[in-house]
A and B are shown apart, each in its own frame.
Chain A
Amino acid sequence: MEFIEIKNCYKIYKNGVTALADGNLTISKGEFVFLIGPTASGKSTLLKLLYREEKPNKGEVHVGNIDISKLRNSKVYKLRRKIGIVFQDFKLLPKLTVYENVAYPLESYGMRSKEIKDFVLKALERVGLKDKYRSYPHELSGGEQQRVCIARAIVNEPKLIICDEPTGNLDPDTSKEIMDVLVKINEELGTTIVMATHDKEIVNRLKKRVITIKNGVIVSDKKKGKYDNEADKNI
């Protein structure tokens, strides 16, 4: 079985919107996958199915041999400990410092403080923020906050990182820096990365696998793909 498998998956929201219709997808370990499509096409829903914020109405979602469509609410944390998530709006805890934000997941797993320190400093070093570990999120720029978010996502050394438009709020230069960090993590640690994005430049420059989704339907899946200009138009 592949690392990620989505089989005949349907997701219809309560308001009648079909966010995913008969979705089939496999992603193997170590891949870097872009997920593109116009707004409201179902990119975010597909990602949410992967980290079990949403359950499919029909079909199966397997991540690392667990059928997460059957995972109970109170057991979801077991899945989330094995994946890292990077958000467009960072989702940092505003009252905690950079160090505390990155350490938070490990602390809540009950890890020893000394070990936590090693992991956190390693993660912060990887994203180039080691000297800002004492700052609070509001004291950092957008790019720096996003790097803290990435550090938090990789601190428990997950096999999969899910990014939901991580560069959506950032200028082109900062976006490039963030992508460099992510590509480095993918190449050096072999972490699988699934990233939803709107950014043509990034997709065209990196030449990775590109999956296009429109109106909840996966319309194309290309190795070394480019950002198709048609992808931005619904229908």
Chain B
Amino acid sequence: MKLIRIFNRSIRDSFKSIFRNFSLSVASISCTVITLILVSLAILATENVTNMTEKIEHDLTMVVFVDSKASTEELKNIENELKAINNIDTITFRSKDEIKNNMSSENEAFKNIMDSWNEDENPLQSTYILKVKNIKEIKETAATIKNIDKVTLVKYGETMVDKMINTFDIIKKCCWVIVLALVLVTIFLITNTIKITIFSRRNEIGIMRLVGTSNSVIKLPYLFEGLLLGAFGSLIPILITIFGYTYFYEAMGGVIFSNLVELTKPSSIIFTTSLALFIIGAVVGMFASLRAVRKYLKI
């Protein structure tokens, strides 16, 4: 009961002091707002870049050519072996007849030549079109497939893919470094503004100590106050994230430059980003305020 009363009074006092030190509260809240907006922008950009690169990586296909003399039995064998490879996501089979029909329907000239072939003479090769799960292991996967009996060729645009993977890796890492740096700057700025807020009340803390308030009871309202300041400060950035990004997505029609570069759907990122902003604001506010108070508790 006693603890609950102290707890309730701390929450009440934290609200009181936010309003009674209004200008300082506004200062710390606006500092939090500005830095968290930057953090939000960085997170959204990073999410988009990550998504785009993943999409491009996922669209990558590998084509496996099979010897044209391979029997149905042998084809079945190849398919089973392909299925046994972990890294392969989907397998689409296109028989040589299918390819022949496709090609003849596309072009008159092809049709004339191809119609002269009978079943056994078809020189085209059956193919498997594969999608891989992990693009980084594509080299090893290709090598494994190449060792399967009757497989003649494995194609996936080797040099281009290697470069692409490297570039994407660097871009993703850079983005996360920027987010991290911004979070650190946020922590630093919020900590300092809250420190100033509490510095102006160090006499108050001294008086509390003199009338016999225990350190933990002195700390509690400051803890809530920091938490509230941080949480209030994250509200505007959260609104900007939710409505701003949705508006941006609609205005751009979901793509940047061309249909090749799709934006991430708002519904899949705005809420996690908002949650991240709220947690950063509240937790940083709380710890900043606790650290600032601790300094004045040594009287």
Contacts and interface: CB of A to CB of B under 8 A. Distances in A.
A133 B129 CA distance: 85
Contact of B211 (A73, A78, A104, A113): A104
Contacts of B21: 95
A181 B211 CA distance: 20
B208 A108 contact: yes
A109 B212 contact: yes
Interface string B8-30: 01000000110011000000000
A85 B213 CA distance: 13
B96 interface: no
Interface in A145-166: 152, 156
A91 B208 CA distance: 10
A95 B17 contact: yes
Nearest to A75: B214
A152 B212 CA distance: 11
Chain B interface, DSSP helix/strand/loop, else mixed: helix
A17 to B, nearest CB: 19
A77 B212 contact: yes
Contacts of A78: 212
Given A74-B215, A95-B17, A80 B204 contact: no
A195 to B, nearest CB: 17
Contacts of B298: 73
B2 A85 contact: no
Interface string A40-58: 0000000000010100000
A149 to B, nearest CB: 10
B251 interface: no
Interface residues of A, number: 27
B212 A156 contact: yes
B14 to A, nearest CB: 13
A93 interface: yes
A27 B214 CA distance: 27
A16 interface: no
B3 interface: yes
B160 interface: no
B232 to A, nearest CB: 20
Interface string B197-225: 00000011011111111110110000000
Interface in A72-118: 73-74, 76-82, 85, 91-93, 95, 104-105, 107-113
A155 B157 CA distance: 85
B125 to A, nearest CB: 81
A114 to B, nearest CB: 11
Nearest to A152: B211
A91 B210 contact: yes
Contacts of A77: 209, 212-215
Contacts of B204: 93, 95
Contacts of B6: 108, 110
Contacts of A73: 297-298
A109 B62 CA distance: 73
Contacts of B17: 95
B84 interface: no
Nearest to A112: B5
Contacts of B260: none
B207 A91 contact: yes
Contacts of B214: 74, 77, 108
A145 to B, nearest CB: 13
A105 B215 contact: no
B212 A93 contact: no
B109 interface: no
Nearest to B204: A93
B210 A85 contact: yes
A108 B210 contact: no
Contacts of A53: 210, 299
B210 A110 contact: no
Contacts of B207: 91-93
Contacts of B215: 74, 77
A107 B212 contact: no
B3 A51 contact: no
The CB with the most chain A CB atoms within 10 A, among B20, B203, B206, B210, is that of B210
Given A77-B213, A108-B9, A152-B211, 4 more contacts: A80-B209, A95-B17, A110-B2, A112-B5
**The 4 nearest A-B residue pairs measured at CB:** A80-B212, A110-B2, A81-B212, A108-B213
28 contacts: A53-B210, A74-B214, A74-B215, A77-B213, A77-B214, A77-B215, A78-B212, A79-B212, A80-B209, A80-B210, A80-B212, A82-B212, A85-B210, A91-B210, A93-B204, A95-B16, A95-B20, A95-B204, A104-B211, A105-B211, A107-B9, A108-B211, A108-B212, A108-B218, A109-B213, A110-B3, A111-B5, A152-B211
